[in-house]
Amino acid sequence: MRVEKRYLAYGHDLDTDISPIQAGLAFAVGWDRPFIGREALLRQREAAEACRIVTLLLEDEDAVPLGGEPVYLEDRIAGKTTSAAFGYRIGRPLAIADLTLAEARAEGATAFVDIAGTRHAAKVTLRPAFDPQGLRMRGLQAAVKA
C-alpha cells in the first residue's frame, strides 16, 4: 500500500540526486535553522521548481510494472518509474515515477510506461492514488472512498 499512498522510500524513490523541493517534501525541511545546502534549496524554492515525483495510474489492469521502467511522453523519455505495484485498493497497477520533462508532470497528462518493450498508457497524478486527503489516517474512515 506504500505506492498507493505515495509514501516515498529512500533508495527507490529518493536518493542524493533529488532535493526535498524536487521530491515535493519542502514541508519537511527545517527552514528556520542553518544547514549545509540551505541556500541552494532556498534558490530552488524561490524559483518555484516543480515536484518531479508523480503517481502513474496504468490503464491496463494486466500490466506488471516492477520499477525502473522508462516513462515516455509521446516519443521522448520523460523519466523512469522508481517503485511499482498492483494497487489492490484501487484495482489497478500503479507506479511512482521521477519525471524530468515538465509537460509530463501535468495533472491528468497521459504518459507511457515501457514494460518489457510494450508501452502501457498511464494517467499522471500529483496526489496519492488511495485516500489523497489522508482522511483515513486522521480517523475519518467513513469519509474515505476507495
pLDDT mean by block of 10 residues, the chain; 146 residues? 93 92 92 95 90 95 96 94 96 96 90 97 94 81 56
Q: How many CA atoms lie within 13 A of 40 on its CB side?
A: 7
pTM of the prediction? 0.87
Residue-range domains of the chain with CATH:
1-146 (3.30.1360.120)
Report the DSSP beta bridge partners of residue 57. 94, 123
Q: For residues 140 and 146, what is the distance between their CA atoms, to the nearest angstrom?
A: 13
